Amino acid sequence: MIELEGVPELIDPVMVAAFEGWNDAGDAASTAVAHLDREWKGEVFAALDAEDYYDFQVNRPTVFLDNGVRKITWPTTRLSVVRVGGDKPRDLVLVRGIEPSMRWRSFCNELLAFAHELGVEMVVILGALLGDTPHTRPVPVSGVTSDPDLARTMDLEETRYEGPTGIVGILQEACTHAGVPAVSLWAAVPHYVSQPPNPKATLALLNRLEDLIGLRIPLGELPEDARAWQLGVDQLAAEDSEVAEYVQTLEEARDTAELPEASGEAIAREFERYLRRREPGSGPGPGPGLATEGGDTAFLRDPGSGRTRPPKREQPSPESGPEAGSETGPEAAPETDVAEGDVSEGPVEPAAGDPGEGSGGAASDAADDGPEGSGDASPDGADGADGAGEDGEDAGAGGAGK
Q: For residue 351, is pLDDT > 50?
A: no
Classify residue 200 as exposed, middle or buried by CB count within 10 Å of its CB (0-12, 13-18, 19+): buried
Rg (CA), the chain: 20
At 255, the pLDDT band (50, 70, 90 cuts) reads confident
Question: Taking a C-beta distance cutoff of 8 angstroms, is the pair 185, 127 a contact?
Answer: yes
The β-bridge partners of 344 are: none
Give the residue with greater pLDDT, 260 vs 279.
279
- Rounded to an integer, the average pLDDT of 355-378 is 41
Mean pLDDT taken over the chain: 73
- Rounded to an integer, the average pLDDT of 318-322 is 41
What per-residue confidence (pLDDT) applies to 128? 95
- Rounded to an integer, the average pLDDT of 27-31 is 96
Query: How far apart (Å, rounded) are the C-alpha atoms in residues 70 and 172?
Result: 38
Query: How far apart (Å, rounded) are the C-alpha atoms in residues 233 and 75?
Result: 32
Q: For residue 10, is pLDDT > 60?
A: yes
Q: For residue 314, is pLDDT > 60?
A: no
What per-residue confidence (pLDDT) applies to 397? 37
What burial letters (b/e) apply to 152-173, b meaning 16+ CB within 10 Å? eebebbbbbbebbbbbbbbbbb
Query: How far apart (Å, rounded) are the C-alpha atoms in residues 197 and 263?
Result: 31
Measure the CA angle with vertex 176, ends 172 and 182; round to 5°.
55
What digits encode the pLDDT tens for the residues 279-300? 554 444 433 333 333 333 333 3
**pLDDT > 70: what percent of the chain?**
62
What per-residue confidence (pLDDT) applies to 189? 92
DSSP letter, residue 258: S
At 9, the pLDDT band (50, 70, 90 cuts) reads confident
Does the N-terminal peptide bond of residue 197 adopt cis geometry, omega within 30 degrees of 0? yes
- Rounded to an integer, the average pLDDT of 31-47 is 89
Strand, helix or coil for residue 102: coil
What per-residue confidence (pLDDT) applies to 57? 93
DSSP letter, residue 24: B
What per-residue confidence (pLDDT) applies to 4? 66
Long-range contacts (CB closer than 8 Å, 24 or more residues apart) made by 59-68: 59/98, 59/101, 59/390
- The count of other CB atoms within 10 Å of the CB of residue 121 is 15
Query: How far apart (Å, rounded) are the C-alpha atoms in residues 155 and 208?
Result: 13
Q: For residue 380, is pLDDT > 80?
A: no
DSSP letter, residue 172: H
Residue among 154, 159, 48 nearest 110 (CA): 48
- Rounded to an integer, the average pLDDT of 346-354 is 42
What digits encode the pLDDT tens for the residues 44-67? 899 999 999 999 999 999 999 999
Strand, helix or coil for residue 205: helix
- Rounded to an integer, the average pLDDT of 245-253 is 82
At 73, the pLDDT band (50, 70, 90 cuts) reads very high
What per-residue confidence (pLDDT) applies to 106? 96
pTM (2 decimals)? 0.65
Q: Helices 167-177 and 104-118 sit at what angle, rounded to 10 degrees?
A: 50
What per-residue confidence (pLDDT) applies to 163? 86
Query: How far apart (Å, rounded) are the C-alpha atoms in residues 312 and 366?
Result: 10
At 105, the pLDDT band (50, 70, 90 cuts) reads very high
